[in-house]
């Protein structure tokens, strides 16, 4: 470029550019954007004026629908751009960095601020700020200080702090973490283990992925502290193979932590030895259940066993073992650094601290939010999420993944905490939240979850193996228009039996989606069974395609595309669908350029 | 078994000999090296590690990551998780199979170029519905975009 030579060398000081390269950012082309920034800045000679690391990699900020997000921080001021692609880079460099004028039309909108400017952030604070592949970034923002503090006291005082903080396990059931640790620390054994459960199998939840991608060291620090508290010499991170970015960041982080002496022998000269290994999951949802997870680490089929004995007494290879979720572990360093009192002052009584929710589905702003426990569902869906797209009506919010339930729109003012959620027939689960509007069919939703769980059932105990299959088959019949009187009662009674008699958490909670949708949306089931219609228009077998003659422009496209030759059409005549021949494939609906088919 | 294959298996064996709970790790390495778990490799390990072949097959059939049949050179993963489902992943998946002319129960194209798989969530819910081809993630995919995405991908990966 000839023009660059004539431009005087810009004097830019303290320039930092942060590009989001989490899973979402990478999909949107984050790597290319980052390369474009470094290449162009180098060509302009700007790099020489500033400190190294002018273009930083950051992890997931949880606002993936706006990717690629780019922060430009210069002379103390900072601006965040959204939807940046490679060809937008040049203009940002020219106008913002060289001329000092922010490119206003590309700045993030109020939705991003609704996500990001919440007052209390603990876990997500550093995600998207620090470079996850550089331990220096983490230590300079206070990282590994909690570990140092923990190691300066004795293990029992660490357990006490966690107990006092009121932290409850973020993986689902909400068991008090401090109590779990205490049980395990009281066990006499030469070898103990601590396991980080990163087998985030709940469809619709991705906070663990984001925390690991954005701040892997916080999880590692939490694990070392936990290992010290219970007296474990080795930790395992069990992570699902579907998260390749997270796995590679963890490997880098472990290597760096070992080099710095945070892992290995005699950590901080305390005489405490500890190391961590990564175990990649092999794609089985049930391995999120702790006893199945341990079986999987031992190299067996991931089948749960009955409790007691609890893992804290007899776990991995028969030794006392603690299993904590990613979110729980990465909270630990903050509690140790800031004290139990600080943590329990956030949230509500019995539900202290913050929780990360992933809000997805039919909602305007999708992504991750960290909010204090006890926040109302309305605040999450409307104030942060911005409501349903196209101003459609909210129907329900599904929480807790396949083990949870659907909360109807009428309960929108309920607080989000462990106890309130289970009292309405749902659960916290990992914090996945899928929003549904009036175009979502609740019977189809229940069928979807049961299809998932019956598929993922390990097959060890009968109620789960056979019972959930029967539930699924009956739901399938209903959605195909073959429902009969008595089906609802059958579903209810079988669901209860499965809940009571299943061996592990998967089976005990699998019928929840069925029970909660019948409880709140029984009329939809009845419409399917008795009236032969799907109110949301989702179930294909109950759908009827009709040509709106007044809108039809008689182009004949549907006639040509119809695979069943069910459409009659002649020039200058609107098309007509033969209901007898129609296979309800929906092809005509998709191809019609004038939306004349409904 | 060819000498070349035996050499490959030997490297995996040396890596895991002393590790506890190595069945899954061995299978994962086999899967990575060969694209599937070859039967003869299982018997080979079974002999050398004194672990019954049934344990290997038991584990291999339990986890969805392992495949006993050869797969295509490129893997298309259609996400059918909750968020993707609600945003219309099913028609997208149908269109992929239709475009690749896959019959019922078929996952791999005749020329072994593509294998289509489903996953229950890859944690990219904000981008739903998501389709992954090898490592590249395609976000907010509409059924009518499928054709273009697949053709573009095939263009960049000509054998």
Q: pLDDT tens digits for A170-208? A: 877 789 999 999 999 999 888 999 999 999 878 778 889
Whether A4 shows a pLDDT value over 70: the answer reads no
Whether A517 shows a pLDDT value over 90: the answer reads yes
Confirm if A210 and A431 have CB atoms less than 8 A apart: no
Report which of residues A203 and A146 the model is more confident about: A146
Count CA within 13 A, CB hemisphere, residue A248: 6
Q: Where are chain B's structural domains? A: 3-62, 74-156
Whether A51 shows a pLDDT value over 50: the answer reads no
Report which of residues A172 and A151 the model is more confident about: A151
Q: Which of A284, A470, A206 is nearest to B84 (CA)?
A: A206
- Select the residue of A28, A205, A284 nearest B64 (Cβ to Cβ): A284
- Give the mean pLDDT of B133-152: 88
Percent of chain A with pLDDT over 90: 40
Whether A68 shows a pLDDT value over 50: the answer reads yes
Q: Which CATH class is domain B74-156?
A: alpha beta
How far is it, in rounded angstroms, from Cα B50 to Cα A99?
71
Among the residue ranges A81-90, A124-133, A373-382, B65-74, the one predicted with the least confidence is A124-133
Report which of residues A38 and B115 the model is more confident about: B115
The pLDDT of residue A3: 44
Among the residue ranges A103-107, A270-274, A512-516, B153-157, the one predicted with the least confidence is B153-157
Output the CATH code of domain A442-530.
Answer: 1.20.1440.230
SS3 A414: coil
Which residues of chain B have a Cβ shorter than 8 Å from any chain A Cβ?
20-25, 27-28, 55, 58-59, 62-66, 81-87, 91, 119-128, 130, 135-139, 143-144
The pLDDT of residue A366: 83
Residues 6 or more apart whose Cβ sits within 8 Å of residue A240: A198, A199, A200, A201, A280, A281, A283
- Give the mean pLDDT of A465-482: 94
Query: How many Cβ pairs closer than 8 A exist between chain A and B?
Result: 136
Q: Which residues of A touch B22 (CB under 8 A)?
A: 299
CB-neighbour burial class of residue A79 (10 A; exposed 0-12, middle 13-18, buried 19+): middle
Confirm if A114 and A381 have CB atoms less than 8 A apart: no
Q: Which CATH superfamily is domain A135-345 in?
A: NADH-ubiquinone oxidoreductase 51kDa subunit (3.40.50.11540)
Percent of chain B with pLDDT over 90: 21
Give φ, ψ of A357 to 5 degrees: -115, 145
Whether A79 shows a pLDDT value over 50: the answer reads yes
The pLDDT of residue A184: 92
CB-neighbour burial class of residue A9 (10 A; exposed 0-12, middle 13-18, buried 19+): exposed
Whether A442 shows a pLDDT value over 80: the answer reads yes
A63, A65, A301, best to mutate vs chain B, most B CBs in 10 Å: A301
Q: Which of B117, B107, B120, B115 is nearest to B80 (CA)?
A: B120
The pLDDT of residue A339: 92
The pLDDT of residue A11: 59
CATH classification of A544-598, choosing from 3.40.190.10, 3.40.50.300, 3.30.70.20, 3.30.70.260? 3.30.70.20
The pLDDT of residue A55: 67
Confirm if B70 and B36 have CB atoms less than 8 A apart: yes
Report which of residues A96 and A236 the model is more confident about: A236
How far is it, in rounded angstroms, from Cα B141 to Cα A483?
33
Q: Which residues of A touch B87 (CB under 8 A)?
A: 361-362
Whether A462 shows a pLDDT value over 90: the answer reads yes
Q: Which residues of A touch B58 (CB under 8 A)?
A: 301
Cβ-defined contact of A456 to B63 (cutoff 8 Å): no
The pLDDT of residue A53: 52
Report ipTM for this prediction: 0.78
- Quickly name the fold that domain A348-437 has: Ubiquitin-like (UB roll) (3.10.20)
- Give the mean pLDDT of B57-70: 89
- Give the mean pLDDT of A491-499: 95
Mean pLDDT of all residues in chain A? 86
Confirm if A316 and A298 have CB atoms less than 8 A apart: yes
The pLDDT of residue A30: 80
| A328 Rama sector, left if φ>0, alpha if ψ -120 to 50, beta otherwise | alpha
- Give the mean pLDDT of A395-405: 88
- Measured in angstroms, the CA of A171 and the nearest CA of chain B are apart by 16
Q: Which residues of B touch A209 (CB under 8 A)?
A: 123
List C-alpha distances in Å: B87 to A22, A77, A357, B79: 22, 38, 19, 11
- Select the residue of B28, B58, B87 nearest A282 (Cβ to Cβ): B28
- Quickly name the fold that domain A3-110 has: Glutaredoxin (3.40.30)
How far is it, in rounded angstroms, from Cα A228 to Cα A150?
8
Confidence category of residue A358, pLDDT binned at 50, 70, 90: confident
- Give the mean pLDDT of B35-59: 90
The pLDDT of residue B20: 62
Q: Which residues of A touch B121 (CB under 8 A)?
A: 201-206, 242
């Amino acid at each position: 470029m000839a023009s660059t030579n004539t431009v005087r060398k810009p004097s830019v000081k303290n320039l930092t550019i942060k590009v989001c390269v989490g899973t979402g950012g990478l999909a949107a082309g984050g790597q290319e954007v980052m390369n474009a920034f470094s290449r162009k800045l180098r060509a302009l000679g700007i790099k020489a004026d500033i400190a190294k690391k002018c273009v930083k990699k950051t992890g997931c900020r949880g606002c993936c629908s706006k990717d690629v997000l780019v922060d430009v921080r210069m002379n103390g001021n900072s601006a965040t751009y959204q939807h940046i692609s490679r060809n937008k880079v040049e203009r940002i460099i020219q106008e913002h960095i060289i001329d000092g004028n922010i490119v206003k039309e590309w700045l993030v909108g109020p939705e991003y601020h609704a996500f990001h400017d919440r007052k209390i952030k603990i876990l997500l604070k550093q995600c998207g700020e620090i470079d996850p592949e550089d331990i220096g970034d983490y230590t300079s923002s206070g990282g590994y200080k909690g570990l140092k503090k923990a190691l300066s006291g004795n293990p029992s005082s660490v357990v006490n702090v966690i107990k006092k903080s009121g932290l409850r396990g973020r993986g689902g059931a909400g068991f008090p973490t401090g109590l779990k640790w205490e049980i395990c620390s009281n066990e006499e054994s030469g070898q103990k283990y601590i396991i980080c459960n990163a087998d985030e199998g709940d469809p619709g939840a991705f906070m663990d992925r984001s925390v690991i991608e954005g701040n892997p060291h916080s999880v590692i620090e939490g694990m070392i502290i936990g290992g010290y508290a219970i007296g474990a010499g080795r930790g395992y991170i069990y992570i699902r193979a579907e998260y390749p970015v997270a796995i590679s960041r963890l490997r880098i982080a472990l290597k760096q932590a070992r080099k710095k002496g945070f892992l290995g022998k005699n950590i901080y000269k305390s005489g405490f030895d500890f190391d961590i290994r990564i175990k990649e999951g092999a794609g089985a949802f049930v391995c999120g259940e702790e006893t199945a997870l341990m079986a999987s680490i031992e190299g067996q089929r991931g089948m749960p066993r009955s409790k007691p004995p609890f893992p804290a007494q007899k776990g991995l290879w028969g030794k006392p073992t603690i299993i904590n979720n990613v979110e729980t572990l990465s909270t630990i360093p903050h509690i140790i650094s800031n004290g139990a009192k600080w943590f329990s002052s956030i949230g509500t009584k019995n539900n202290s601290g913050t929780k990360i929710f992933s809000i997805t589905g039919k909602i305007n702003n999708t992504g991750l939010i960290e909010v204090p426990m006890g926040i109302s569902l309305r605040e999450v869906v409307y104030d942060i999420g911005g409501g349903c797209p196209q101003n459609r009506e909210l129907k329900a919010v599904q929480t807790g993944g396949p083990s949870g339930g659907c909360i109807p729109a009428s309960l929108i003012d309920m607080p989000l905490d462990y106890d309130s959620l289970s009292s309405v027939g749902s659960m916290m689960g990992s914090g996945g939240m899928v929003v549904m509007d009036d175009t979502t069919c609740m019977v189809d939703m229940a069928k979807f979850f049961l299809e998932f769980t019956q598929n993922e059932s390990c097959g060890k105990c009968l109620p789960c193996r056979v019972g959930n299959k029967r539930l699924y088959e009956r739901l399938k019949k209903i959605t195909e228009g073959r429902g009969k009187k008595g089906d609802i009662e059958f579903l209810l009674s079988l669901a209860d039996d499965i809940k009571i008699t299943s061996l592990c958490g998967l089976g005990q909670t699998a019928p929840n989606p069925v029970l909660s949708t019948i409880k709140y949306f029984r009329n939809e089931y009845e419409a399917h069974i008795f009236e032969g219609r799907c109110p949301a228009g989702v179930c294909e077998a109950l759908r009827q395609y009709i040509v709106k003659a007044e809108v039809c422009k008689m182009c004949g496209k549907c006639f040509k595309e119809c695979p069943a030759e069910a459409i009659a059409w002649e020039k200058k005549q609107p098309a007509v669908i033969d209901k007898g021949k129609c296979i309800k494939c929906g092809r005509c609906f998709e191809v019609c350029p004038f939306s004349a088919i409904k | 078994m060819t000498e070349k294959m035996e050499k490959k298996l030997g490297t995996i064996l040396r890596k895991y000999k002393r590790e506890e709970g190595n069945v899954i790790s061995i299978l994962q390495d086999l899967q990575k090296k060969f694209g599937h778990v070859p039967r003869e490799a299982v018997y080979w390990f079974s002999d050398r590690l004194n672990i019954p072949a049934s344990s290997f097959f038991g584990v291999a059939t339990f986890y969805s990551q392992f495949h006993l049949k050869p797969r295509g050179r490129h893997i298309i993963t259609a996400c059918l998780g909750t968020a993707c489902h609600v945003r219309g992943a099913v028609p997208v998946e149908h269109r992929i199979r239709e475009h690749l002319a896959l019959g019922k129960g078929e996952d791999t194209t005749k020329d072994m170029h593509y294998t289509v798989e489903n996953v229950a969530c890859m944690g990219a819910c904000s981008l739903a519905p998501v389709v992954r081809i090898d490592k590249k993630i395609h976000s907010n995919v509409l059924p009518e975009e499928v054709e273009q995405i697949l053709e573009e991908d095939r263009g960049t990966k000509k054998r």
